Copies of this chain bind each other. A is one copy, B any other.
Amino acid sequence: MAIVCQKLPDACQHGLVPAPRRRATITSVAEAAGVATSTVSRAFSNPGRVNHVTREHVLAVAERLGYSPNPTAQALESGRTNTVALVVPDITNPYFSGVVKGAERAAAEARLTLVIGDAQENPVHEERLVRRLGAAVDGFVLTASRMPDEALQRASELNRIVLVNRASPGLTSVVADFASGTGQIVAHLASHGHRSFVFLGGPAESWSGARRWAGLHAAAAEHGLEATRFGPYTPTTASGPAAADAVLTTRATAVVAHNDVLAIGVLQRLAERGVRVPEQLSVVGFDDVFGADFCHPPLTTLAERTTEAGARAVEALAALTRPGATPTGEDAPVRVLPTQLVVRASSGPAPT
């Protein structure tokens, strides 16, 4: 059995690799159609340079054989795959849904295939993903990348990269306006008479986490509020209890969480412990994710334009892959998207 498998181009490899059926190749189509492979190739990717009736014929034969060009081979030749990868830290975090949706829409418009990779909140895994996928895609959108700047620089030498909610020297990026957003949050709290708040920090590597804290800190100083930072916490509801309990050791009247998922976990814990929100403690999140509007009480949170961010990032990436595009450089644009505070029932006047 195995002995037969030597170099018989077609019959072979079947018993070994259970590839369902051998796909038709450009060669088989060319033979069946009685033309050269290059004609078949042109029929598909260069319609202008082939006789109309020849083309029809080739296409008909191809259809009959169920042929469609092998993207792997096309990619090997051209170096382009028309595929871009979107990498997110944790695909189960609903925050990234919007980014994914926007990226998909933009990819479809640019006739690009989008694949999504999950970095699993792990810089090492993220870097490996980029290495692994590097030659198989035309570029990456790295969302809230946890990779250190050096790693990003290294990766950007081999790959086209666009960042979302992360900035790094020389790299194109799309970020939310955290400066304004954190200002809105602090103004909201100040207007309600709060004098101090606790910030529940997210992962240490999180660039946006750092921006959030920096913004809150600055705005707090401006408004004469006292701001304290706790954490880091893994941004999941599971971190809620520890975070909430930590807050309750202080006399802060408000708490701002790294993101909504963490805030919701905090809310759950506070309910468990009989702390009334917002009467005793105001809670504010970031992201306005699915769930923020129906948790109890509904969460005040800073909404970002995540869909737009995903779309803009893919568009920028598509532009980078087009011939004649300027590679990254000093002038790498940072696009800032507005943010908006959505006030719901989880925040209110400070207790007197």
Interface residues of A in 160-182 (CB under 8 A from B): 160
Interface pair A20/B157, CB less than 8 Å apart: yes
Given contacts A76-B73, A291-B291, contact A20 B159 (CB under 8 A): yes
The reply to whether B100 and A91 contact each other, CB–CB distance below 8 Å, is yes
Contact of A72 among B17, B114, B120, B136 (CB under 8 A): B136
Question: A20–B158 contact, CB under 8 A?
Answer: yes
In the complex the two chains form, is A97's CB within 8 Å of B92's CB?
Answer: yes
Chain A's interface size range is 35 or more
**Contacts A291-B294, A294-B291 given: A80-B323 contact, CB under 8 Å?**
no
CB–CB A116/B91 < 8 A: yes
The answer to whether the Cβ of A273 comes within 8 Å of any Cβ in the partner chain is no
Residue pair B18, A290 in contact (C-beta under 8 Å): no
Instruction: For A135, list chain B residues within 8 Å (CB).
Output: 23, 70-72
Contacts A81-B72, A97-B92 given: A268-B294 contact, CB under 8 Å? yes
A200 to chain B, nearest CB (A): 18
A324 is contacted by which of B16, B97, B104, B157 (Cβ under 8 Å)? B16
A97 to B289, CA, bound (A): 15
User: For residues 54 through 108 of chain A, which have their beta carbon under 8 Å from a beta carbon of chain B?
Assistant: 66, 68, 70-73, 75-76, 79-81, 83, 85, 91-92, 94, 97-98, 100-101, 104
A117→B118 contact, CB < 8 A: no
Give every chain B residue within 8 A of A70 (Cβ-Cβ).
Answer: 76, 135
Q: Is A7 an interface residue (CB 8 A)?
A: no
> In this assembly, does A311 line the interface, its C-beta being within 8 Å of a C-beta of chain B?
no
How distant is A252 from chain B, measured CB to nearest CB, in Å?
23
Say yes or no for A264: interface residue by CB 8 A criterion: yes
Bound-complex Cα distance A268 to B114 (A) = 34
A residues 7-42 near B (Cβ < 8 Å) are 13, 16-21, 23
Looking across the interface, which residue of chain B has its beta carbon closest to that of A92?
Answer: B97
Chain B residues in 8 Å Cβ range of A158: 20-21, 23, 66
Given contacts A131-B68, A294-B268, contact A16 B156 (CB under 8 A): no
Q: In residues 303-334 of chain A, which contact B (Cβ within 8 Å)?
A: 320-321, 323-328
A294–B298 Cα gap in the complex (Å)?
10
CB < 8 Å neighbour of A20 from B21, B113, B160: B160
- B115 and A18 form a contact (CB under 8 A): no
Among all A-B residue pairs, the 4 with the closest Cβ atoms: A92-B97, A115-B115, A116-B116, A291-B291
Q: List 30 A-B contacts (CB under 8 A).
A: A16-B323, A18-B320, A18-B326, A20-B157, A20-B158, A20-B159, A20-B160, A20-B327, A71-B136, A72-B72, A72-B135, A76-B76, A91-B97, A91-B101, A92-B97, A113-B129, A113-B132, A114-B118, A115-B115, A115-B116, A116-B117, A116-B118, A264-B294, A268-B294, A290-B291, A291-B294, A291-B295, A294-B296, A295-B295, A295-B296
